[in-house]
Amino acid sequence: MNAQRAKEIYDSTDNIAVQLDDGQSVWIEKVDVDNGVATVQVGGKPTDVQTVGVERLKEYSH
């Protein structure tokens, strides 16, 4: 995914499913478009927060 799409998902009022390239579900908490990174919460664990390159993120449908 590109940084602009990650920002659109973050700003959206819709619940858009996103996962890392390793298949883990994530919740986007912040997007740094200029640097191409996003801060994400991994799974349902509020303490598992990572900053990853947006290229590692992908949308998926159930």
What's this model's pTM, rounded to 2 decimal places?
A: 0.89
> Half-sphere exposure (CA, 13 Å, Cβ side) for 49?
7
- Output the furthest CA–CA distance in the chain (Å, rounded): 30
pLDDT in tens, 10-36: 999 999 999 999 999 999 999 999 999
The larger pLDDT score, comparing residue 59 to residue 44, is at 59
